[in-house]
Structure formats: structure tokens, C-alpha cells
A = this chain, B = another copy of it.
Amino acid sequence: MPELKALCFDVFGTVVDWRSSLITHAQALGQRKGITADWERLVDAWRAGYQPAMDRVRKGEVPWTSLDALHRGTLDRLLGEFGIASLDEADKVELNLGWHRLKGWPDSVPGLTRLKRKYIIATLSNGNVKLLVDMGKWAGLPWDTVLSAELVHRYKPDPATYRSAIEFLGDGEPGAVMMVAAHNGDLASAGSHGMQTAFVPRPEEYGPGQVRDTRPEHDFTVVAADFEALAEKLGA
């Protein structure tokens, strides 16, 4: 393996706890507006709409659309399905901006801070650049830079996304860059392009009773319990 220079992190689920963060934001808005709704179920349905919305872009059924716009489209559909009619435009904008305000897992900021001393640390996420930058500021994630599907107008696992990380941060050398994710599929794709891989399970990403991605299903370079353990294993 060549010398490792940069770590690229999947973000939703791997670095930040989107589910509990969004539920908190939505419940607060509901309380302020006097709306009773099953916000937990709405948030789970919102996230369940994530892959189908990107699939429409991946298949070329719609032109490139940022994740902010896809999230908004799914939200508008769900508000109809849940019979929530009393939100005005500013409320919907605020609800959608909840994706910019997701809190890190307890080990995220200390682990990233430690890893940053030895390596370049960057995102490699399907979130758009502004979403990721806003989130970095909000949650205190000390990224050296933000890489995003938006830079290449292709959603992971499109090869262009992983190749952009290798070009931009690895001087074209795939093994100089490591993908860090809580999802087997993302890492298997990264590994197929020659990147190093680190699996960090997040068994509560989808709430209680999660069954997917609780353990590594491939032969990854590193498996670590959290980002502090990853820093330890990578000598940072």
C-alpha cells in the first residue's frame, strides 16, 4: 500500500446522527406551530425517500438536482401524505435546512480533530457543498475541505465520485486515500477503485432495531468501533 495521505468520510450516518437531530428539529417546529404529528415516522420516511430520489438522477430521469432540492421534493410529498397543511414556506425552508444542522456522534469531533493532525480529512458525501459546509460550521467538524457528489454532478456510488477524491487528494494514487463509512456498499465501491477502506459501524443510525450495516461484510483495510479507535489504529 502507498503512504496514506487523506481520509474521505461518508457523512450522513457515519459522522452525524441525522435521525435524532432531525426528529428534534421537527418536534420543536411542531410544538412552536401547534402541530401534532408522528415526526419520528415522518423523518424515517424522509430518509427512506433518499435513495429513490437520487435514483431518478442516477438513471437520468431528471437532470442533476442537488440533495437540498431532492430533500425538499420528498418533504413536500410527505407533508401531503401526513396531512400536515399548516406549514408556510418559511417553515418548510427551515425544516429542510435541518439537514444542514445535524449533530456529530459523540466521538466525531474529538476523533476527527485527532485524525486531522496526521492526515487530510475531507467529506465525500452525496450532500451538496453548501449543506456540508453549513453542517461543518454548525457541528464543529474540522474538515480540511469538502468533497461532494455535487462537484462532479454524480451521486455515489458513481465511479466519478471516488475518482474525484483520488484525483483531488491523492495525486491520482487510489491507495493514498481512504474511504471511511458506516455502510458496506459505499466502502465496497471505494475499494473497487483501489481506495483504502475503514468500516466504522453506527448501529443506531436508523434507530432501535437496526439490522443493516451492523458489521463489516467485506475485507476492509481497517475496522474500528468509532473515530477515536480509528485514530488509534492509524497512528494519529
Interface of chain A, helix or strand or loop or mixed?
helix
Whether A169 contacts B133 by the Cβ 8 Å rule is yes
Whether A169 contacts B120 by the Cβ 8 Å rule is no
Asked if A136 CB lies within 8 Å of chain B CBs, one says yes
Q: Which residues of B contact A132 (CB under 8 A)?
A: 145
Cα–Cα, bound, A104→B130 (Å) = 26
Out of B116, B129, B169, name the residue touching A145 (CB < 8 Å): B129
Out of B116, B143, B171, name the residue touching A130 (CB < 8 Å): B171
Contact with B along A127-164 (1 / 0, CB 8 A): 01110111011000001111000110000000000000
Provided the pairs A145-B143, A145-B146, A151-B151 are in contact, do residues A169 and B137 lie with their beta carbons within 8 angstroms?
no
Q: Which residues of B contact A136 (CB under 8 A)?
A: 144-145
Asked if A168 CB lies within 8 Å of chain B CBs, one says yes
Q: Which residues of B contact A116 (CB under 8 A)?
A: 137
Provided the pairs A151-B151, A168-B150 are in contact, do residues A133 and B144 lie with their beta carbons within 8 angstroms?
yes
- Name A residues whose Cβ lies closer than 8 Å to a Cβ of B: 116, 120, 122, 128-130, 132-134, 136-137, 143-146, 150-151, 167-169, 171
13 A-B interface contacts by CB (under 8 A): A122-B133, A128-B168, A129-B145, A129-B168, A129-B169, A130-B168, A130-B169, A133-B169, A136-B145, A137-B144, A143-B144, A145-B145, A150-B168
